[in-house]
Chains A and B, each alone.
Chain A
Amino acid sequence: MKIVVCVKQVPDTSEVRIDQKTGTMIREGVKSIINPDDLSGLEAALSIKDQNHAEVIALSMGPMQADSAMRECLAMGVDRAILVSDRVFAGADTWATSLLLSKAIAQINPDLIICGRQAIDGDTAQVGPQIAEHLSLPSVAYVGDITLENENNLVVKRTFENGYQLIRVKTPCLLTVLSEMNSPRYMRVGGIFSAFNDGLVEVWDNSNLNLQPEELGLKGSPTKVKKSYTKGVKTAGKVFDVEPKEAAKVIIEKLKESYIL
């Protein structure tokens, strides 16, 4: 079984700083980490590999700086790490990114593609399902558990706020997974040393993918960011621990207080 895990290097901050002029993120001075949902995707793939014959390939699109994230993947135990990186990719939105990743994945031809649900720097949750669309593959989002039924079938648990569905899905397919599904393994010490000494991060640029200029970067990105801003801090909410009848009264009162009623 061949598994591709899509991995994004993201700034480690809950408070993303935005350049007010350009509307893009300021990355300088912020530590980079592997996106938490993606780490769980790696763990899910590697634990399939622990039990079965499988090849795990980490795939990332990003600047060359993401090389360090790819080394982390190698240190965790992936078999191959592919970084898709080219200046002409810069400025890609989720559409351009997913198109590009789908082209790369098509060349690898995996049985299973695992993406994190969403990246903490963008929070769109779009790239995974879009890749599946580009490749015309079935996809299940918000997966909290994966069971290999046999070579051709998976049973996955799609989680909701107040319940879950068990879905049988045929491979090849794409899943997006939640960081709550597992706790990612530690990198192994020997894995860290060999990731730098004899590990190889394969770098693919557009000559490998052959995307047309209009499909690339800002040109290939239909999303136009109008304005980015950091949300102001709200004051802490107030909890009224009361019976429903009483609660209705409180709500009406509060709405009147704010002149909404």
Chain B
Amino acid sequence: MEFGFKKEHYLLRQMLQDFTEKEVAPLAAEIDELERFPIETVEKMKNVGILGIPFPKEYGGEGGDYLGYILAVEEISKACATTGVVLSGHTSLCCQPIYEFGTEEQKQKYLVPLAKGEKLGAFALTEPNAGTDASKQETIAIEDGDDYILNGSKIFITNAGYADVYIVMAMTDKSQGTRGITAFIVEGDTPGFSVGPKEKKMGIRGSSTCELIFEDVRVPKANILGKIGYGFKIAMKTLDGGRIGIAAQACGIAEGALNETVKYVKERKQFGRPLAAFQNTQFELATMATKVDAARMLLYRAAYKKDNKEPFSSEAAMAKLYASEVAMEVTNKAVQLHGGYGYSREYPVERMMRDAKITEIYEGTSEVQKMVISATLLK
């Protein structure tokens, strides 16, 4: 039995494995090589309900839970971490804050099409001068009648250009510090809003990561998410949940690499025996599998706590911190056990090792996770 699983989670996992094998895995190498956004996979995810898993049916969702969503990111990332982050950026960073903090009108107008997968979502907090220290927002929003006018820029925004709806943090009152930051729902076709060129990345190369530019972008007050001055709080809460998604992506990458390695060492022969016959191989695999399983337990626990409305911030940070380190370590070992073939793009572990690194960086670097965990201990 897996932690917190009900019967539906096992059946969901079975369906996701089937979907991943047929629809996601065949594209993984190509979208990485060509740095191509997997637009057709987004359409397929929409058709089976993967883009709205944890949201109630009345808001266009599938009536599932966070654990179900986590399973989707995990299973899909086993084959393709790019597709995993498209899903997690959309679900936990855009749909989720609208679901948690949005007004009924905002939910009807934005969450319904997002959860149905008719629209794709993104989340924009990071700026050139506001990375780990996200409080130093330089994007400004100035009140003007029934609107706010946004000016500034964001950097490294996942799903940029492909998203229809963006959650954007901007400073509405600098004198208030973090309490002067407000979250806005911005539509992708608003005049004055534009998307910069695609970032050239080490991994998750099929995903779109771009700068966002705001030049006198007029956003109606009706699109303020939560209240004026609540943006930083909303961003931090959103990232708490988002981290579970990244932990799931990391677990998926690690499991994918482990599975590839188990297959490979049984086939590859040296010194007249398969690599699997060497005790070093066996011990490495044992360590890898143990760490992957430990990471998955932390992951499912964090999702379980979130689903059961228990505090989960520290558990989410632990899951992300540990799972991303395990993803790095396991993919590194996977390449080592493949030898030269592992370093070649002929085998997927090369891509998986490049993909793993980002999980230690975005939605709070590993250092930030340690800050969150220790803050809970020392409070």
Question: Chain A residues in contact with chain B, CB under 8 A?
Answer: 68, 71-72, 75, 186-197
Contacts and interface: CB of A to CB of B under 8 A. Distances in A.
B7 A196 contact: yes
Contact of B57 (A72, A75, A190, A192): A190
A249 B18 CA distance: 49
Contacts of A195: 8, 11
Given A68-B11, A71-B11, A72-B11, A189 B48 contact: yes
Contact of A186 (B19, B61, B65, B72): B19
A187 B11 contact: yes
Contacts of B12: 189, 192-193
B239 interface: no
A114 to B, nearest CB: 22
Nearest to A75: B11
Q: Which of A191, A192, A195 is packed against the most chain B CB atoms within 10 Å? A: A192
Interface in B1-42: 6-8, 11-12, 15, 18-19
A225 to B, nearest CB: 32
Contacts, number: 56
B7 A189 contact: no
B68 interface: yes
Contacts of A193: 8, 12, 62-65, 68
Contacts of B48: 186-189
Given A189-B12, A195-B8, 15 more contacts: A71-B7, A186-B19, A187-B15, A187-B48, A189-B50, A189-B62, A190-B64, A191-B49, A192-B12, A192-B15, A192-B64, A193-B12, A193-B68, A195-B11, A196-B7
B356 to A, nearest CB: 27
A193 B56 CA distance: 11
A50 B65 CA distance: 28
Contacts of B72: 189
B53 interface: yes
A195 B258 CA distance: 33
Contacts of B65: 193
A190 B12 CA distance: 10
B18 A189 contact: no
A183 to B, nearest CB: 9
Contacts of B6: 196
B111 to A, nearest CB: 15
Contacts of B7: 68, 71, 196
A137 B324 CA distance: 61
Contacts of B11: 68, 71-72, 75, 187, 192, 195-196
A187 B9 CA distance: 13
Q: Which of B57, B63, B72 is packed against the most chain A CB atoms within 10 Å? A: B63
**Size range of the interface on B?**
20 to 34
A182 B72 CA distance: 26
A195 B18 CA distance: 18
Contacts of B15: 75, 186-187, 189, 192
Nearest to A187: B15
Given A68-B11, A192-B8, A197 B18 contact: no
B29 to A, nearest CB: 23
Nearest to B65: A193
B18 A186 contact: yes
Contacts of B52: 189
A68 B65 CA distance: 20
Interface in B52-78: 52-53, 57, 61-65, 68, 72
Contact of B53 (A72, A186, A189, A191): A189
Q: Give 7 nearest A-B pairs by CB, closest first.
A: A190-B62, A189-B49, A196-B8, A189-B62, A193-B64, A187-B15, A186-B48
A188 B47 CA distance: 8
Contacts of B8: 192-193, 195-197
A40 B8 CA distance: 23
Nearest to B61: A190
A114 B48 CA distance: 25
Contacts of A196: 6-8, 11
A71 B63 CA distance: 16
Contacts of A72: 11
A192 B12 CA distance: 6
21 contacts: A71-B7, A186-B15, A186-B18, A187-B48, A188-B48, A188-B49, A189-B15, A189-B50, A189-B62, A189-B68, A189-B72, A190-B62, A190-B63, A191-B49, A192-B8, A193-B64, A195-B8, A195-B11, A196-B6, A196-B7, A196-B11
A244 B129 CA distance: 80
A104 to B, nearest CB: 25
A80 B72 CA distance: 27
